[in-house]
A and B are shown apart, each in its own frame.
Chain A
Amino acid sequence: MSITEIVLRLHANSYYFFAILLFIIGFHTMLTHNNLIKKVIGMNIMDMAIFLFFVAIGYVRGGRSPILEPGVNHAFINPLPSALILTGIVVAVSVTAYALSLIIKLYKHYGTIDAEEIMRIRGGGSL
């Protein structure tokens, strides 16, 4: 496989490629950062990557939005993934809100939002 071929295939699958890239970025952020808010941000990036991936499944290059008109015959985008992901986004938003509210409570108890710091105050255990 030549370089051009790889580039071309990447281009053809660019949505998936970037979705995976985003997923890794999000996952990495979530695991390596001690700041709880950054963890939540990482979580969101990861969620978005999955949403992108999911929506990309239904995308047809050059397709239109699936509004049927008599006499017009076009390639349509599959609307189902987008519809599903709307639900997914709602879920992600509520989880984020909940996580942030928990962080506020943690800040009230510990005076910090740094996982290491909380661990130190608590003495042992991990977050």
Chain B
Amino acid sequence: MNFSQHLPALIVVVPLLFAFVMPLLARWRKQWCVPVTLGAIIFSFAAALQMAFQVMSTGPFSYYMGDWPPPWGIELGIDYLAAFAALTINGVGLLIIWFGSKDLLHELKPEVLGWYYTLYLLLMASMVGIVITNDIFNMFVFLEICAIASCGIISIKESRDCIEAAFKYLVLSVLGSGAFLLAVALLYMVTGHLNFTFMAEALPEAMVLYPNNLLVAMGLLVVGLGVKAALFPLHVWLPDAHSSAPSPSSAVLSALVIKVYAVAMIRLLYLVFPRELLGIAPVMEMILWMSTLAIIIGSMFAIVQDDIKKMLAYSSIAQIGYVFLGVGLMSESALVGGILHIFNHATMKSMLFLAAGAFIYGTGARKLSELKGIGHTMPIPTIAFCIGAFSMVGIPITSGFISKWYLALGALDVGRPFFTAVILISSLLNGIYYLPIVVNAFFSKPEEAVPAPKQLPREMLVPLALLSFGVILFGVYPSLILGIVYRAAQLLLGL
């Protein structure tokens, strides 16, 4: 019984615990809130790192909650994908809240600050829970925590837009959870299990007896998780929710929360449902076309936006399309590209949102037209934004290029160059809306004299610098994470 054996449980429990300590701290020891939050997430990050090393050296392992073996107890399954996703969530989440510790001071009322950290830790715990659990009902519970916490970090800024966006998000989230729970019921009905591994064993037999039942369940799962992941026609809630929220919330929502549902969907579709079922119903084909539409239409909507955060939100819709494109193509390279894009998009989108947050913090400007000449007054956020934009377009030596490379290669592998073309066209569209901002920031002059922006504190600059460094680093040395992503894809495809 040593400590590191319990890491899979602790990685969820520690943030959860501190989430509930936070209101007390906020009451009596206000200045402790930030360090404690950071400490909890750093702990989770270290645990995720340790788990990733363990997975890479000894292979996937599981953890039985309370020592109850499945099918009775809840099992946490740490495989390559889970470790990778946990690492992404905690790494990016840490930088976002670090940035947020200063940014939130001007966005939120002081009396709710403590609650924000509660919600944030809840969100982190539930996201990690979703990706590492091997039990479908446990996943449902984490999904609900995640849904409420993510609505919470929007509505905590009590402006009209935020409340409204949060309500819309909540209603659709509940719909998604409902669909998910119904799917759980249908699966439980035919298999008698809630554990992924046992379900996967029982399903081929059940498929013969109740194919319709399973198809409905699969459809409900795709729709339920699709709503939460904002997969194209189910994305309606996202632009408002992500753009009105405080910047750190937008960053975490766009960068991590929607990805978590994608990870959940990947695990269910690849590990639980028998491959033959995917043959009966063209689910993958559907996902493919939905993601294609997401990629193109998301980018097109982004072009016409005038609000920088709204533009970034629409861009997220397109980018989640990339992830699902990788899922739907079902080839090794494409899946690698899709999974890698979860990480790459998390870093670049959080960076873009934080840079936008820095602009808002410094000048109060949200409109793209107000950002002219910002490159001279706020150089570091603008350079970060610039790197993020290049990465979005897929310029080489940024990480965005690597995921595009794999996705495009995957599309060619299965003999569908059409999807390669889709990726390229969307890169062009990305260029059309990202690059003018960069250009205006450096080469245009503002129409009227603007007051000098507020100086950014170091807590905001360092995360931005780290994220931009990461985007470049993983563009030049993608092999740092490719190993685990490759293994994850191979495990999922059963290679």
Which residues of A are in contact with B by a Cβ distance under 8 Å?
A: 23, 30, 36, 39, 43, 46-47, 50, 53-54, 57, 80-81, 84, 87-88, 91, 94-95, 98-99, 102-103, 105-106, 109-110, 118, 122, 125-127
Q: Is B181's CB under 8 angstroms from A87's CB?
A: no
| Stretch binding the partner chain, chosen from B156-164, B257-265, B458-466 | B156-164
Q: Is B158's CB under 8 angstroms from A105's CB?
A: yes
A57 and B182 alpha carbons, distance in the complex (Å): 11
Q: Is B170's CB under 8 angstroms from A106's CB?
A: no
Q: Which residue on chain B has the smallest CB distance to residue A42?
A: B171
Q: Is B170's CB under 8 angstroms from A95's CB?
A: yes
Question: In the complex, what residues of B have CB within 8 A of residue A47's CB?
Answer: 174, 178
Most buried by A among B155, B163, B240: B163
Question: In the complex, what residues of A have CB within 8 A of residue B137's CB?
Answer: 84, 87
Tell which of B158, B194, B240 touches A125, judged by Cβ atoms closer than 8 Å. B240
A21 and B155 alpha carbons, distance in the complex (Å): 33
Q: Is B167's CB under 8 angstroms from A46's CB?
A: no
A57 and B183 alpha carbons, distance in the complex (Å): 13
Q: Is B181's CB under 8 angstroms from A102's CB?
A: no
Tell which of B144, B151, B152, B171 touches A43, judged by Cβ atoms closer than 8 Å. B171
Tell which of A87, A88, A122 touches B164, judged by Cβ atoms closer than 8 Å. A122
* Number of residue pairs A-B, CB distance < 8 angstroms: 74
Task: Provide the B130-153 mask, 1 if CB < 8 A to any CB of A, else 0.
Answer: 000000010011001001100110
Knowing A50-B185, A54-B185, A57-B189, the reply to whether A99 touches B171 (Cβ < 8 A) is yes
Enumerate 30 A-B pairs (CB-CB under 8 Å) in ascending A order: A23-B182, A43-B175, A50-B178, A53-B182, A54-B184, A54-B188, A57-B189, A80-B194, A88-B140, A91-B141, A91-B144, A91-B177, A95-B147, A95-B174, A99-B167, A99-B170, A99-B171, A102-B166, A102-B167, A102-B170, A105-B155, A105-B158, A105-B163, A106-B167, A109-B163, A118-B164, A122-B164, A126-B236, A127-B167, A127-B168
User: Mostly helix, strand, loop or mixed at chain B's interface?
Assistant: helix
Q: Is B155's CB under 8 angstroms from A102's CB?
A: yes
A88 and B236 alpha carbons, distance in the complex (Å): 26
Q: How far is the CB of B153 from chain A (nearest CB, A)?
A: 13
Question: In the complex, what residues of A have CB within 8 A of residue B194's CB?
Answer: 80, 84
Q: How far is the CB of B150 from chain A (nearest CB, A)?
A: 12
Q: Is B178's CB under 8 angstroms from A46's CB?
A: yes
Knowing A81-B188, A127-B164, the reply to whether A98 touches B170 (Cβ < 8 A) is yes
Q: How far is the CB of A39 from chain B (nearest CB, A)?
A: 6
Q: Which residue on chain A has the smallest CB distance to residue B140?
A: A88
Q: Which residue on chain A has the smallest CB distance to residue B160?
A: A109
Q: Which residue on chain A has the smallest CB distance to residue B168?
A: A127
Most buried by B among A53, A54, A87: A54
Q: How far is the CB of B149 from chain A (nearest CB, A)?
A: 10
A77 and B171 alpha carbons, distance in the complex (Å): 33
Q: Is A106's CB under 8 angstroms from B148's CB?
A: no
Most buried by B among A57, A105, A110, A126: A105
